[in-house]
Structure 1
Amino acid sequence: MIKKIQYLYEKSCSNLKIYIFTVKMLKILSSSEEHYLTEKLYYYGNLISAKTIILSNLRLIIHITKNYLGYGMTHSDLIQSGNFGLIKSIFRFNPNINIRFISFALYWIKSEIHEYILRNWRIVKIATTKSQRKIFFNLKKNKNTLKWLDKNEIKVFTQILGVHTQDIKEMESRILSQDITIHPFIELKKKKKNIINNLVPYLNNLKYDISYVIKLNTNKNINSKYKLNHTILTLDTRSRNIINTRWIIDQEKKITLKKIANNYGISAERVRQIESNAIKKMK
């Protein structure tokens, strides 16, 4: 009966709820158990110990990521980033230092979550330096409204964070700005007064459309090669061979007028004349 209830509960929940439900059922390690397992991993590379420690701390990731839900990211993605930080920390932890593993792992967990948020907040990365990251997360955490900061609020933030006023203003503008599509829409009204959205025809002149220009140039190159090959076939055999050896084959394989003249038993000047006449005919 218990298994049936659990099955129905899992069927009625989302994948995230099932994950959270499963993680909360995992055993929490005591301090002595954790120390024993971390020593086995540190000294002997025991991956089973690493797995046990990671599983026992997954519930903490769920708790930490709840503080970052206001950044517009999905909870499952935040959890995944935190889990990645947890995995990275387990192989850097030294059991000889007198702290619990999770206290050490907290830095790596938050670091991965922060990195994920910064990568996905905007199309262009919003913060790249350590100072910008500090300003970004502190502004988001302590800003209560969507309104712009006044002079007094900016002054308070500069004192708390130890940064310049201009840095606060610049980061605030980045946070409050929105990504704009490069394909803006206009509203067109039909006879029945139904509003439909159409792309703004700002590329009516196709010479400014990169994809069209590339396609056009590619077609020109193909046509040029076809015309060149067709024209060469209209020449006589000797003229065709001279043009091929002088102009068509690779630069490294080209031969001199004198060598061609020796092959045909004629003078180099005569080879030059045949070449010149063949080019004129091709043109």
Structure 2
Amino acid sequence: MTVTTTALAPRDPWSLVPSLGNLDAYIRAVQAIPMLEADEEQALARRLRDQQDVQAAGRLVLSHLRLVVSISRQYMGYGLPQGDLIQEGNVGLMKAVKRFDPDQGVRLVSYAMHWIKAEIHEYILKNWRMVKVATTKAQRKLFFNLRSLKHQFKGEADDAHVGRAALSEAEIHRVATELNVRPEDVIEMETRMAGGDVALEAPADDDHEGPAAPLNYLSDDLQEPSRVIESHHRDWLSSHGISQALEGLDARSRRIVEERWLKVNDNGSGGATLHDLAAEYGVSAERIRQIEVAALKKMRKVLEAV
């Protein structure tokens, strides 16, 4: 049974789809949404192209969400959550809908497959453990086809087993020939894909007595660039910066700040008290406090502008 274009028009089509937080419910919901007939798809696509009808775009996207779910299953072997794959695929679907031309004579399902896969490919390359290893077009093709070719060579097996099984020299040359890459590229990609993950942090148990985790020796906080810059800036402020800020004060304000904050008594305690300075200048302690606050505020502005 088909649903007419006007049946869902009064409501937001996305309200029919639950959040990706509940993946099973989401998949059931999108599988229940009927596909559009060819004439309905053409009419909606023309409304989007000619009138920028957002409601029509929503209907086109909504009816093809099941396609994204189906394509996402092809990339489950990379250890990434299916919900994330679907989310990225949905972005590709929306890009396809935006660029779809109903006068090209093809259905949206055929046109959208390229955009969905392209978006998922980008996500995998950015987030898999081999971050950004596939940079050229040939390397990307090798990355996304090596696993399936290994399945063909080794027979039907689980992904973990296929990932560990090394290719023979004949198989390496066969892959290189089929994908038009160098045998060395196949060997390099095979090595990287077969490599295991290393935890940066040690296990959270108290009985762990193994070797130090990489996180303990890979970085030195003291030599981290932002820390070094911050330290140098702080040293400059404590010397030249404060001197520059003091130069902008009148004589009385400068002496009050110096006596209160920059001098230490012989017994190791802080500088002069408000009452000491009040007696010296013949004013109240509250007046000294007001001068001090105003002077510090003026100095802070100077230091912030440095």
What 5-or-longer segments of structure 1 have no aligned partner?
Answer: 1-12, 237-283
Question: What is the alpha-carbon distance in structure 1 between the residues aligned to residue 28 and residue 209 of structure 2?
Answer: 45
Does the aligned pair in 2 maintain the 1:203–1:209 contact within 8 Å? no
Give TM-score, length-normalised by structure 2. 0.61
1:48 aligns with 2:55: yes
1:61 aligns with 2:68: yes
1:167 aligns with 2:181: no
Does the aligned pair in 2 maintain the 1:40–1:46 contact within 8 Å? yes
Aligned ranges 1:131-210 → 2 under 5 Å? 131-144=138-151, 145=162, 146-178=164-196, 180=198, 194-196=207-209, 202=217, 208=223
Tell me how far 1:230 sits from its aligned partner. 9.8
Q: Residue 257 of structure 1 corresponds to which residue in structure 2?
A: none
Kindly provide the amino acid, as one letter, of the partner of residue 63 in structure 2. S
One of 93, 100, 109 as aligned partner of 1:102: 109
Q: Residue 95 of structure 2 corresponds to which residue in structure 1?
A: 88
Question: What is the alpha-carbon distance in structure 2 between the residues aligned to residue 206 and residue 108 of structure 1?
Answer: 42
Kindly provide the amino acid, as one letter, of the partner of residue 172 in structure 1. E
Give TM-score, length-normalised by structure 1. 0.66
Kindly provide the amino acid, as one letter, of the partner of residue 93 in structure 2. L
Tell me how far 1:223 sits from its aligned partner. 2.7
What 5-or-longer segments of structure 2 have no aligned partner?
Answer: 1-19, 152-161, 252-306
**Relative to structure 1, is the Cα distance of residues 222 and 16 closer, same or farther in structure 2, using a 3 angstrom cutoff?**
same
Tell me how far 1:38 sits from its aligned partner. 1.3
Tell which structure's C-alpha radius of gyration is larger.
1
Tell me how far 1:227 sits from its aligned partner. 7.0
Question: What is the alpha-carbon distance in structure 1 between the residues aligned to residue 54 and residue 116 of structure 2?
Answer: 20
Does the aligned pair in 1 maintain the 2:89–2:116 contact within 8 Å? yes
Does the aligned pair in 1 maintain the 2:130–2:192 contact within 8 Å? no
Q: Residue 70 of structure 1 corresponds to which residue in structure 2?
A: 77
1:37 aligns with 2:50: no
Question: What is the alpha-carbon distance in structure 2 between the residues aligned to residue 206 and residue 33 of structure 1?
Answer: 61
Q: Residue 221 of structure 1 corresponds to which residue in structure 2?
A: 236
Question: What is the alpha-carbon distance in structure 1 between the residues aligned to residue 29 and residue 61 of structure 2?
Answer: 14
Kindly provide the amino acid, as one letter, of the partner of residue 97 in structure 2. I
Question: What is the alpha-carbon distance in structure 2 between the residues aligned to residue 123 and residue 147 of structure 1?
Answer: 18
Does the aligned pair in 2 maintain the 1:123–1:179 contact within 8 Å? no
Tell me how many residue pairs correspond in the alignment.
219
CA RMSD of aligned residues (A): 3.5
One of 4, 25, 30 as aligned partner of 1:23: 30
Kindly provide the amino acid, as one letter, of the partner of residue 122 in structure 2. E
Kindly provide the amino acid, as one letter, of the partner of residue 114 in structure 2. Y
Q: Deviations 1:204-235 (Å, cap 9, x if unpaired)?
A: 998656566445434422332267469979xx
Tell me how far 1:61 sits from its aligned partner. 0.9
Tell me how far 1:37 sits from its aligned partner. 1.3
Q: Residue 136 of structure 2 corresponds to which residue in structure 1?
A: 129
